[in-house]
Amino acid sequence: MTASDAESISLRALLAMATPEEREEFEGMSLGYTETFGAPDLRETIATTYQRQTASDILCFAGASEGIFAANNVILNKDSHAIVATPNYQSHETLPVAICEATGVPLDPHDGWSLDIDRVRDAIRPNTKLVTINFPHNPTGAILPLERYLALVELCRTHGIYILHDEIFYGLGPTGTQHLPFIADIYERGLSLNVMSKSFGLPGLRIGWIACQDAAILSAMERMKHYLSICNSGPSERLAKIALNNRAHLLGRNCAIVDENLPKWDAFFERHTDLFEWRRPDGSCMAFPRYKGPEGVEAFCQSAVEDSGVLLLPSTIYRSDLGPTPTDRFRLGFGRLGLDEGLAALEAHVMKNKAS
């Protein structure tokens, strides 16, 4: 009930989408090393998902985490300073903190989990090299208002600061979701992080990438990749190309699952306003509702999984060493099929606790 990825599909179902040429590329490929930057035709296909990128602006990684590691280690050194939006995916904080000093700028739950650009401005130092953001946001599903996003870009441009934007939930959300422009398309020092894992529901492929206009940064990350994965899995690259060539179908399917599941959560929280505070997310397949019960969210999540087999992620998982983060929230996911069974179990758990 807390998963952050969309419903996956089988290898058979993915190959059924392939053209005869793509099927032959997959079945007849050599299982030798591939190129460190990523297969040229895959990079060309990835580039088509952007407005202004070409294959030369794309560097592939073995998943998104490798890209996060490479970007932080190339841009930052011990004399640098980084700014991180909180709460966040763990490595967006722990990696810069392991390298240099970092400042957390909290998203405001009373302002739609938005980012205060003035607080970012106040956090900037002469040695600030990197700002890291993530929209649609994990765990809240929030999307930054466009005017604030553009203001952040102009602020960072003025100071020559790189922006690493974790965009791995791009394209996923309920009908009508308005996603932000890719940072690599609008900012010369923007790094667009994406992956097949989340919106496309294909984490088993382990194919991610960073798009960036800065050739020197891409080259430095490519050299670092020689000490990490060296290259991606060749079969996974073939499969990722097939998926991206059918991205409209995959994203449409996964967004339809979100459309089906979200009203069920709306109804659940409407029935239990005494225990929960619910805000519909702007995008992705996650939300971060508030738990108001007297025992606290940690105890609630523990009893839910131990007594009723329902796994939710308490906000203590998202604690930050850079400042306070909410302690009364939990992450739920609604990007997968089969929600009814889990929701029934959660309903029964809540009603049982109310009766006791």
CATH of domain 249-355: 3.90.1150.10
Residue 23, burial from CB neighbour count under 10 angstroms (0-12, 13-18, 19+): middle
Residue at token pair 């700028």: 105
Residue 47, burial from CB neighbour count under 10 angstroms (0-12, 13-18, 19+): middle
Model confidence at 44, pLDDT cuts 50, 70, 90, reads very high
pLDDT digits (tens, 9 = 90+) for 321-346: 999 999 999 999 999 999 999 999 99
**Structural domain spans, the chain:** 11-246, 249-355
> What's the pLDDT at 117?
98
> What's the pLDDT at 275?
97
Distance between CA atoms of residues 229 and 179, nearest Å: 31
| For residues 267-281, average pLDDT | 97
Q: What is the 3-state secondary structure (H, E, C) of the chain?
A: CCCCCCCCCCHHHHHCCCCHHHHHHHHCCCCCCCCCCCCHHHHHHHHCCCCCCCHHHEEEECCHHHHHHHHHHHHCCCCCEEEEEECCCHHHHHHHHHHCEEEEEECEHHHCCECCHHHHHHHCCCCEEEEEEECCCCCCCCCCCHHHHHHHHHHHHHHCCEEEEECCCCCCCCCCCCCCCCHHHHCCCEEEEEECCCCCCCHHHCCEEEEECCHHHHHHHHHHHCCCCCCCCHHHHHHHHHHHHCHHHHHHHHHHHHHHHHHHHHHHHHHCCCCEECCCCCCCCEECCEECCCCCHHHHHHHHHHHHCCCCEEHHHHCCCCCCCCCCEEEEECCCCCHHHHHHHHHHHHHHHHHC
| For residues 69-81, average pLDDT | 98
> What's the pLDDT at 329?
97
Summary mean pLDDT of the chain: 97
pLDDT digits (tens, 9 = 90+) for 85-112: 999 999 999 999 999 999 999 999 999 9
Whole-structure pTM value: 0.96
Looking at the predicted structure, is the pLDDT value of residue 354 above 90? Answer: no
pLDDT digits (tens, 9 = 90+) for 256-268: 999 999 999 999 9
pLDDT digits (tens, 9 = 90+) for 197-248: 999 999 999 999 999 999 999 999 999 999 999 999 999 999 999 999 999 9
pLDDT digits (tens, 9 = 90+) for 12-22: 999 999 999 99
> What's the pLDDT at 191?
98
pLDDT digits (tens, 9 = 90+) for 180-208: 999 999 999 999 999 999 999 999 999 99
Distance between CA atoms of residues 325 and 314, nearest Å: 12
| Percent of the chain surpassing pLDDT 70 | 100
Q: What is the 3-state secondary structure (H, E, C) of 191-234?
A: EEEEECCCCCCCHHHCCEEEEECCHHHHHHHHHHHCCCCCCCCH
Structural contact between residues 62 and 232, judged by C-beta atoms closer than 8 angstroms: yes
Model confidence at 355, pLDDT cuts 50, 70, 90, reads confident
Looking at the predicted structure, is the pLDDT value of residue 356 above 80? Answer: no
Looking at the predicted structure, is the pLDDT value of residue 320 above 80? Answer: yes
Instruction: Please give the class, per CATH, of domain 11-246.
Output: alpha beta
Residue 94, burial from CB neighbour count under 10 angstroms (0-12, 13-18, 19+): middle
